[in-house]
Amino acid sequence: MEGVQRPEDRPDIIIRVFNMKLKELLEDICKHGIFGTVLTYIYVIEFQKRGLPHAHILLTLDSESKIRTKDDIDKFVSAELPDPCTDLRLFQIVTKCMVHGPCGTINSPCMRDGQCCKSFPKQFKDDTEENVNGYPIYRRRATEPVQVGKYSIDNRWVVPYNPWLLKKFNAHINAEVCASVKSVKYLYKYVYKGHDAASVKIQKEGALDHDEILSFVEGRYVGAPEAMWRLNEFNLSHKSHTVVRLAVHCQQQPIVYQDGQEAQAIKRAALRKTTLTSWFELNKNYPSAHNISYSDIPQYYMFDKRTTNWKKRQRGGQNVIGRLPVVSILDTERYYLRMLLLRKSGAISFDDILTVNGLRCIT
């Protein structure tokens, strides 16, 4: 920076430094394995109201590396103030970057109806407790409080962190353990929740005039760092695996059309195959595909949207996952069709799926 410039005057430098640190962080996690062997990862970039970027990262570890016991949790995640006598540098970073609030004042941004929305201060805990509603309760022993600025802080106010990452990057890095499918489902929604938005409009009482597109444009806030991030074409999200969405539909039911376009949709559907009907053709023409289930087929074949055919992959299928969408049990035929598709390989038609020991079932 030049002269009297401050960091906020150079959003271009801010986003470049953050992007380099993000790449270094992912290399430490995925390549060097500081948490163990990583099977999959996903990250999403968001920007705070004041403009600074941050990343939400979700990891899946292999079976041998999974964090299962409270000793494993304590090994990788801490929610306590370190001893300044044994590790002064870590203590300084934690008190600078990993202390919440303290909140409680009327204008604290985390306060909702008189309560902290992040549930601080936490309760003291002598030992880590595993898997409480999908998350562990971290150890927070009752120790003497320390003075941080004008506040007296103890372990109840510490945001969970990984000591190694904190000492390397000297930044706010919140590390948490997810211990159930319930928490993972929430986290996938959380990382894709999008930015905050707010707009104010005065209109006549009783009038209903809501333009969703205009509301999005007017309510969206884009700061200088986000604008620079997009101009530099840095990734706003990334995942280790490609997820291929596979069609699940009953016979004669693959057509989706909009009002007023029924004729065109029917004409297109007569010539167009889905991933499912194309899979039937693949099994019919290539016996070598008979041992591959419908959900695993994207690992070995690529769906060509132009020709609507499955084509054998030449390389790169190990990081591809086939996904069958969730079907409500109220949609009975499709629900059980999905179950059969997850288990039966080599099917050449809908009738073949319904055939058991040479007998064709009605449903």
What the block records as the tokens of 109 is: 């941004």
User: How many other C-beta atoms lie within 10 A of the C-beta of residue 136?
Assistant: 22
Q: What is the pLDDT of residues 319-350, one digit of tens each?
A: 899 999 999 999 989 999 999 999 888 888 88
CA distances from 3 to 9, 225, 230, 325 (A): 11, 21, 27, 56
In single-letter form, the type of residue at position 73 comes to I
Beta-carbon contacts of residue 108 (< 8 Å; ≥ 6 apart): 101, 116
Q: Which of 18-27, 97-106, 306-315 has the lowest mean pLDDT?
A: 97-106
**Of 175, 195, 189, which is closest to residue 47 (Cα–Cα)?**
195
Q: What is the pLDDT of residues 269-279, one digit of tens each?
A: 555 788 999 99
- Tell me: the pLDDT tens digits for 58-94? 899 999 999 988 999 999 999 999 999 999 999 999 9
Mean pLDDT, all residues of the chain = 85
- Higher-confidence residue of 163 and 6: namely 163
Q: Is the pLDDT of residue 187 over 70?
A: no
The pLDDT > 90 percentage for the chain reads: 44
Q: What is the mean pLDDT of residues 256-264?
A: 58
Q: What local confidence, expressed as pLDDT, does residue 220 receive?
A: 76
pLDDT-derived band at 246 (thresholds 50, 70, 90) equals very high
Q: 31-68 pLDDT, tens per residue?
A: 999 999 999 998 989 888 778 899 989 899 999 999 98
Residues paired with 237 in a beta bridge? 44
At 3 the pLDDT is 73
